[in-house]
Structure 1
Amino acid sequence: MIKLLTVALVAGLVFESNQQDSKSPALSKSKRPCNYPTNTRCWTDWFDRDDPGGRGDFEVLNHLRSENPGKICANPVDIEVTTLSGLSATSTGDVFHKMDTTTGFICRKTDQSSKKCNDYRVRFSCHPPFCGGGVCWTKWYDRDDPSGTGDWELLKNLRKENPDEICDNPLFIEAVTTDTLTPAVDTGETFNV
């Protein structure tokens, strides 16, 4: 039995700078041949620019960017905060003034019953192309159904039916079944390449 397959391609799209984001003209929807799935993202290094003395522990995004140029993407999608020993911020019992991808993290002593904050570190989650590698995946394509001769997901046909969506020189291809998303190589079927 021939299983129904769907394919996605890795586009050979290389960026000049890993600091570009979706607002950059180089990455406008009409210029990029690939999608950036919401589950594809990376984490920056950990940052700890402030100690909990003075008014508290201030890991503010604009200060972190100034001190670490090019190391934090333009539009982080998530923030993670832990103590220096790795304890999650939410399990410390401290009250936080800010903990978001716009401001960063602020723990003020005045908000704490103990009048002190733990020493925290932060990192930010980013989408491609910031994650490096200079490649991204297209959306999934399923143009043919299995028939007596097979399931034909030919690149030339996919390009014709989806103009300007697939780059000129794809680097990789991934194929999975449409029902269970089983990788094609794990189906036991033979492929003609």
Structure 2
Amino acid sequence: MIQLLSVAIVAGLFFESNQQPARVPDLVFLPQPGCWTEWFDRDDPSGTGDWETLSDLRKEYPGKICSKPVGVEARTLSGLTVAAAGDVIYVSDTTTGFVCRNQDQPRNKMCNDYRVRFSCPPAFCKVCWTKWYNRDAPSGTGDWENLINLRTENPGQICDHPLSIEAVTTDTLTPAISTGQTFISNPTDGFVCRNTDQKSGACRDYKVRFGCPCN
């Protein structure tokens, strides 16, 4: 069964700056209704900082981000908001994207590693969702809800080019991004959580679904 996504107004944390580095304001709400892209993580802070710029993201994820985003949200890989992480952010807006520079952090501290997503006009995110899939459990090396295996085990049920992916825990339906666990999640490869990457030593059990073009 495929269900039509109903677009909701999402309130989140958004942060903007101009030329000078500044501490992130506590809370700024996005007033416009919209929809969200998947989470992107193209860089890490091991060099000069974490550069999740729109120009680079569009090159690496063609067609995944609308031409004129109306909002941006960033979280650390463990799920912290920018305000909670405490980093000084160089820029976070809908024109440039998100940049945290190591040189702007106090006491020679490095930036956290961030993932970002963008809010787009509702028409961009009009997708139809597949059913939920849960092909694996974390009792082995982790929870492998990867697309290639899901297609093999569920022939004809997932579109050729998914637009988005959603992953939640099977017990509490907690979004993966809010669990604090480390994972890979994108509509091209699917979802993978490895036990060796977790501080606790074990992934939670997840289920996933994919957003497909509505035909």
Q: What is the TM-score with the length of structure 1 in the denominator?
A: 0.48
The higher radius of gyration belongs to: 1
Q: What is the TM-score with the length of structure 2 in the denominator?
A: 0.43
